Amino acid sequence: MQRILVTGGAGFIGCNFIHYIMEHTGLHVTALDKLTYAGNIESLAGLPPERFEFVQGDICDAPLVDRMTAGVDAVVHFAAESHNDNSLQDPRPFVDTNLVGTFTLIEAARKHSTRFHHISTDEVYGDLALEDPQRFTESSVYRPTSPYSATKAGSDMLVRAWVRSFGLQATISNCSNNYGPYQHVEKFIPRQITNILDGNRPRLYGNGHNVRDWIHVEDHSSAVAAILERGRIGETYLIGADGEQSNRVVVEKLLRQMGQSPEAYDLVTDRPGHDLRYAIDSSKLRKELGWVPRFADFDAGLADTVRWYQDNEAWWRPQKAATETKYAGQGH
């Protein structure tokens, strides 16, 4: 493998993956990204031009996708509409990008016999009770609950069908909640960090008892690299780092780390249909591919992330006011 195409490369996880894969391999990377509100070209600054190219375009643009897929050995597909709250306001772009966009890409990959890795989410499995001893595994039943997770589930099904019906050389990964540098300020952890930096109180939906299974974005990147290199075609791998935390505990940790009282947050209107808990069992990935997460200490990873937002205000500041105006309109 010499050349790869990364869709959604200007987004949070896509850009972190590109930095990771360029540092750890000699691959040539082309990023294809529409630069929606969620994409930021600044996240790709400083990459060596002899090994990196950026193309602004839509994954639903079939002629463009066909041309770009023809020239590479593998496609790693991150591009998506990714935010649950937005999917509840306007589901249409989620159907277009997550379903039609994925369809467009796998048609091109089928035509050119290109290796394909599809990035998906643990949300396709719905949610768990707080006390449920089971975690999600590769054989959990699909039960998506939001327009976002429903379109991601549909995209997974398309990839699985293309493997079975057309022999597409594809793998799928479903990962838990990522945190780390370059995440848009609409998402939970960056929203609260930047609120605190601005002298505003963090906002917790509902009672704050919902649980997410946090993984540092660099560990997601190393897992995807392992699957791309050694994953078995047709297989799904769940990616997680045993990082379950309630939202309330995460906000309290952030407030303490940033020198505030751990009670200095507000409870706001809950998200409609809010999934209660996600939890990943990543045994298959660990046993089969020997993957281990590097960021075992959540508090230390969180402190690094706080520092990154403190040091990179120029990156996030342009999005902050518009994001908070949008949330105010939703009662959040």
Please compute, for residue 65, the number of CA atoms within 13 A of its CA located in the half-sphere on the CB side. 28
What is the per-residue binding string for ligand NAD in 178-197, x denoting contact by CB under 6 A? x-----x-------------
CA angle 40, 46, 50 (to 5 degrees): 110
The answer to whether 263 is a known catalytic residue is: no
Instruction: Assess 177 for contact with ligand DAU (CB under 6 A).
Output: yes
The structure tokens 């463009």 sit at 64
Instruction: Assess 122 for contact with ligand DAU (CB under 6 A).
Output: yes
Single out the residue of 69, 87, 97, 210 in contact with ligand DAU (rule: CB under 6 A).
210
- Position closest to ligand DAU via CB: 121
Residues in the chain, total: 332
Instruction: Assess 114 for contact with ligand DAU (CB under 6 A).
Output: no
Three-state DSSP class for residue 128: coil
> What is the C-alpha to C-alpha distance for residues 322 and 48, in angstroms, rounded to an integer?
32
The answer to whether 123 is a known catalytic residue is: yes
- Kindly state the number of chain residues that form the binding site for ligand DAU, as judged by CB under 6 A: 20
Instruction: Assess 80 for contact with ligand NAD (CB under 6 A).
Output: yes
Burial class (CB in 10 A: 0-12, 13-18, 19+), 287: exposed
Instruction: Assess 187 for contact with ligand DAU (CB under 6 A).
Output: yes
Residues 6+ apart with CB under 8 A from 320: 185, 194, 198
Three-state DSSP class for residue 129: coil
Instruction: Assess 301 for contact with ligand NAD (CB under 6 A).
Output: no
> What is the C-alpha to C-alpha distance for residues 194 and 320, in angstroms, rounded to an integer?
8
Between strands 115-121 and 203-205, the pairing is unpaired
Instruction: Assess 210 for contact with ligand NAD (CB under 6 A).
Output: no
> What is the C-alpha to C-alpha distance for residues 58 and 313, in angstroms, rounded to an integer?
28
The answer to whether 122 is a known catalytic residue is: yes
| Active-site residue, from 125, 148, 265, 278 | 148
Q: Which does 97 bind (CB under 5 to 8 A by kind): ligand DAU, ligand NAD, none?
A: ligand NAD
Which residues form the interface with ligand DAU (CB under 6 A)?
82-84, 121-123, 176-177, 187-188, 191, 203-205, 210, 212, 247, 271, 278, 332
Catalytic residue ranges: 122-123, 148
Note the residues at the interface with ligand NAD (CB under 6 A): 7-8, 10-14, 33-36, 38-39, 58-60, 78-82, 97, 101, 119, 121, 152, 175, 177-178, 184
